[in-house]
Amino acid sequence: MSRYAYVNSAFVPHRAASVHIEDRGFQFGDAVYEVWSVRDGHLLDEQGHFERLYRSLDQLDIRFERSQSAMQVTIHELLRRNRIREGLVYLQISRGVAPRDHAFPATNTPPTIVLTAKRFSFSAAGRRAEQGVRVITHEDERWDRCDIKSVNLLANVLAKQAAREEGAYEAWLVDKAGLVTEGSSTTAWIVNADGALVTRPLDNHILHGITRKTVVAVANAMSIPLIERAFTPAEAKSAREAFITSASSFVMPVVQIDDKMIGNGAPGSLSLSLRDEYLRAQ
C-alpha cells in the first residue's frame, strides 16, 4: 500500500513529497508544528493542539488562512488514505518559500503546509510504561520563547541525543538557576512526599503541553493536589514518583534520573493511574 503525505494542497506519495530548498522552514527554522496521537481514528486532545498551533502561528506572525475545520478534514483524509486508525499525525507550517533573506518575505507569500501520518503501536508504548524509563539531566541551552512550538529544535535534538547515548529515554533540561524546565520533548513532573503533583508553571521557558493540560484536569477530577512550581534535579531524585507527559508518550513513569533510582525503581502507582485515567478521558 502506498503511503501518502500532504504538501500545500495535494496528497502525494510520501517518498516523492518535498518542499523547495528556499523554504523558510529549511533555511531558518521559520516554521511551527504540532503532533497528535490517533487512537481508534480519533485525534487525541484535538482541540488543544489546534489552539496551540494557531497561537504559535500568531506569535510568529505567520499568516495561515486555513480554518481549523478545513485542516481537520484534510487530516482525516490523510488518515483514511494511509488506512491509519492508530498512529501519529505531524503538521508543519512554515512562512513559505522566498529568496533567502532573514527578514520576512512579502506578506502574500503563501505558507508551506506539510502533513504526514504514520502508524504507531500504543501497546508497545504501554509495555514501556509498565517498566518505566530513565532520564538524564542536561543543560537547557534554548532561547526564551519555548512557549512557541517552532521547528527550531537544535538544543532539544542535542539533549535527546545525549540521553540516547547514555541509554536513556529522555533528557530533563536544567536552566541557569538550576531548575528543571521540561524534557527535550516532554513535560516533567514529580510527586512529592505528600502525594501532590509538582510541575513547572506555564511561562515562556516551557512548551505549554496539551497532555499536561488534560492531566491537570484528570488530577483535579481525582482530587490529587497540584503545585505549579519549578523543582531542582536533587528534589526530583528524592521524589516519591516522577513521570513525563507528551502527545505520543501520554503519561510515562520515570524510574531513574541520572544515577538515582526513583522510589523502589518501579513505576509509581499514581503515575500509572494517571496514565489510565488520561487514556480513559479521551
247 lines the binding site for ligand PMP (CB under 6 A): yes
Name the grid cell of 206.
516551557
Within 251-280, the residues that bind ligand PMP by CB under 6 A are none
Query: Measured between alpha carbons, how far is 76 from 54 in angstroms, rounded to an integer?
Result: 19
Q: Which of 94, 116, 152, 186 binds ligand PMP (CB under 6 A)?
A: 186
Between 30 and 140, name the residue whose CB sits nearer to ligand PMP. Answer: 140
Q: Which of 133, 180, 191, 207 binds ligand PMP (CB under 6 A)?
A: 207
Q: Is there a catalytic annotation at residue 149?
A: yes
Q: Which of 89, 159, 210, 219 binds ligand PMP (CB under 6 A)?
A: 210
Mask of contacts with ligand PMP, 142-181, x by CB under 6 A?
--------------x-------------------------
Options 5-13, 19-27, 68-76, 208-216: segment touching ligand PMP (CB under 6 A) = 208-216
Between 35 and 158, name the residue whose CB sits nearer to ligand PMP. Answer: 35
Q: Which of 25, 96, 111, 209 binds ligand PMP (CB under 6 A)?
A: 209
> Where do we find the cell 504538501?
7
Within 46-65, the residues that bind ligand PMP by CB under 6 A are none
Q: Which of 56, 116, 150, 245 binds ligand PMP (CB under 6 A)?
A: 245
Q: Looking at 149, 176, 213, 260, which residue is catalytic?
A: 149
Q: Which of 112, 116, 199, 246 binds ligand PMP (CB under 6 A)?
A: 246
In contact, 137 and 172? CB cutoff 8 Å: yes
Options 66-74, 97-105, 239-247, 255-263: segment touching ligand PMP (CB under 6 A) = 239-247
Q: Which of 27, 187, 199, 256 binds ligand PMP (CB under 6 A)?
A: 187
Nearest residue relative to ligand PMP (C-beta) = 211
- Give every CB contact of residue 249 below 8 A, 6+ residues apart in sequence: 125, 186
From 176, 177, 183, select the one nearest 135 (Cα to Cα).
183
Residue 190's Cβ-side half-sphere holds a number of Cα atoms within 13 Å equal to 26
Give residue 33's identity as a one-letter amino acid code: Y
Options 70-78, 162-170, 183-191, 266-274: segment touching ligand PMP (CB under 6 A) = 183-191
**Active site residue ranges:** 149
Point out which residues bind ligand PMP (CB under 6 A): 35, 156, 182, 185-187, 207, 209-212, 245-247
